[in-house]
Amino acid sequence: MDVLTAIYQRRSIRHFTDAPVPASLVHELIRAATQAPSAVNQQPWVFGVIRGRRRLDGYSERAKAHLLAILPQALSLHRRADTLASHEYNVFHHAGTLVFIAARPAPHHPEEDCCLAAQNLMLAAHALGLGTCPIGFARPWLNLPAVKAELGIPGSCHVVMPLAVGWPAGQSAPVPREPPEIVCWQEDARPAG
């Protein structure tokens, strides 16, 4: 698949089949992520892999409970409170695999580098027939010091992008995009004619 096709076809996937993602493919996705550019080639990313629906279902409940507890501080989440409070809502959309990208402390905005790595991973997954969904809802919980200690995430690392990964169950409708707003385009005057 060429890169433009992957860019235009990729969708956030929220329905997955029961088929497991082989560990070799998870490694391939992580290798693709590390091909992203990074400031002064600092490569500040580290990766975490959590596998197993039962385990992720349990973490989903805990991530939801944490989000609901911090709602007064995270005002932007308020309109999602009903969704989060619903017993049916699974933060990871019942995916069997979660890959998260975390930033080591680094001098040059390591979070941006991790986001570029995440986009590489999502496009590579799409090219391999896999589906992904960024899971911002899981980030506050994954960054709790106690949770980091439990999962073996170094305390100095900051989880930037959790990504649910699995085999898509069916098609996802395209999500429309606004036309780009180009606020600046300057160039030398062209010679007349």
The footprint of ligand FMN (CB under 6 A) covers: 11-12, 14, 133-137, 175
- Helices (H) and strands (E) counted in the chain, each on its own, are 7, 4
Q: How far is the CB of 11 from ligand FMN (least distance, A)?
A: 4
| Between 88 and 187, CB nearer to ligand FMN | 88
C-beta closer to ligand FMN: residue 58 or 136? 136
- Written as one string, the DSSP assignment of 34-95 is TTS--GGG---EEEEEEE-HHHHHHHHHHHHHHHHHHTTT-GGGGGGHHHHH-TT--TTTT-
**Which residue's Cβ lies closest to ligand FMN?**
136
Residue 10 or 104 with smaller CB distance to ligand FMN: 10
Positions of E strands within 85-148: 97-103, 131-134
Least distance between ligand FMN and beta carbon 133 (Å): 5
- Chain centroid, CA 56 distance in Å: 15
SS3 assignment, position 127: helix
CB of 172 to ligand FMN, least distance (A): 6
* Residue whose CB is less far from ligand FMN, 87 or 177: 177
Count CB neighbours of 50 within 10 A: 18
Q: Which is nearer to ligand FMN, 72 or 174 (CB)?
A: 174
Q: How many whole angstroms separate alpha carbon 192 and alpha carbon 164?
A: 54
